[in-house]
């Protein structure tokens, strides 16, 4: 039933939004597509799954997952960002691809290549609201995603770190001259994306009760599409884009097939870029090229 599909979609969208936001902030502020974000997403799911399997409570599992993804993200920064100061922008992107390959294969080695059931304590509890079945874990995931997105928004707009981030987005060189601690601010950016992606992965596990080594790549595509839809660097745009993509996904599964999902999403993405490259809500202000 359509309403049911839409509700499912919206709840799914929350998770995509976290990934979309991580991508979007990294492009908006550091100007590169960070392919290690899907890897961190996967780590969030896999680590929380492993911790739960050992019998620890869910809070500990999620905390462990976040700790792992945040620290991995900072390690990635250590081995990448410093060289952003050169003008070759493909360097951090390629480097992040290297991390993606590294992390995915490490996970295959240690956890195997099969999908693993996620021992969530919530199971598949659900409640009926206005005739629609709402999964409680998914609802909780959605709520938690909203909280994280709102927190991001507040950090970017209200805190010193946020001012630093926005300043670097305009011009790293000028920021440095103005006294922004570029090193720490960028680390802050990596930390935030690590937390967003990791939480997304853990919530995915809780919602879909399954994790695997390639769960990152699937969501990455949709996250990127959501980001382009909502406008790169646009925080609430990432949420809007993610919700739209998730709804497109569930509708495609209902009316076409689950195989068609990727084609449809990629086609939407391609059409978007060719027709409306600034997204629905508009790009962040592009740097004026100084001649």
150 or 287, CB closer to another protein? 287
Q: What's the number of CA atoms in the CB half-sphere (13 Å) around residue 271?
A: 7
DSSP string, 240-252: HHHHHHHHHHHHH
Question: Closest separation between CB of residue 146 and another protein, Å?
Answer: 26
Question: Closest separation between CB of residue 98 and another protein, Å?
Answer: 3
83 or 143, CB closer to another protein? 83
What the block records as the tokens of 268 is 């939407």
What the block records as the tokens of 246 is 């998730």
Which residues are near another protein by CB under 8 A?
27, 32-33, 79-80, 83, 86, 88-95, 97-106, 108-109, 217, 221, 224, 228, 232, 259, 262-263, 266-267, 269-270, 273-274, 277, 289-291
Question: Closest separation between CB of residue 173 and another protein, Å?
Answer: 12
Distance CA 110, CA 88 (A): 35
224 or 248, CB closer to another protein? 224
H or E element in which residue 23 lies: helix 2-25
Question: Closest separation between CB of residue 63 and another protein, Å?
Answer: 27
Q: Could you count the other beta carbons within 10 Å of the beta carbon of residue 235? A: 23
Question: Closest separation between CB of residue 101 and another protein, Å?
Answer: 4
86 or 128, CB closer to another protein? 86
What the block records as the tokens of 113 is 């290549």
Angle, helices 136-158/182-208, rounded to nearest 10 degrees: 170
């Amino acid at each position: 039933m359509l309403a049911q599909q839409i509700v499912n979609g919206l709840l799914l969208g929350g998770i995509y939004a976290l990934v979309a936001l991580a991508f979007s902030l990294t492009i908006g502020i550091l100007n590169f597509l960070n392919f290690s974000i899907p890897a961190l997403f996967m780590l969030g799911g896999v680590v929380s799954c492993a911790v739960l399997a050992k019998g620890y409570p869910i809070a500990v599992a999620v905390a462990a997952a976040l700790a792992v993804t945040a620290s991995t993200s900072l390690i990635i920064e250590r081995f990448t960002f410093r060289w952003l100061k050169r003008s070759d922008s493909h360097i951090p992107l390629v480097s992040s691809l290297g991390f993606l390959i590294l992390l995915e294969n490490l996970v295959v080695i240690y956890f195997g290549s099969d999908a693993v059931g996620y021992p969530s304590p919530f199971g598949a509890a659900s409640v009926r609201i206005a005739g629609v079945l709402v999964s409680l874990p998914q609802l909780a995931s959605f709520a938690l995603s909203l909280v994280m997105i709102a927190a991001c928004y507040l950090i970017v707009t209200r805190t010193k770190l946020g001012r630093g981030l926005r300043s670097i987005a305009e011009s790293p060189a000028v920021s440095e001259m103005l006294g922004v601690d570029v090193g720490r601010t960028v680390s802050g950016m990596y930390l935030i994306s690590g937390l967003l992606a990791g939480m997304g992965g853990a919530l995915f596990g809780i919602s879909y009760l399954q994790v695997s080594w390639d769960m990152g790549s699937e969501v990455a595509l949709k996250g990127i599409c959501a980001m382009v839809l909502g406008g790169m660097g646009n925080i609430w745009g990432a949420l809007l884009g993610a919700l739209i993509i998730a709804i497109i996904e569930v509708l495609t599964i209902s009316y076409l097939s689950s195989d068609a999902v990727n084609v449809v999403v990629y086609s939407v993405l391609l059409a978007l870029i060719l027709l409306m490259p600034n997204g629905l809500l508009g790009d962040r202000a592009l740097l004026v090229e100084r001649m």
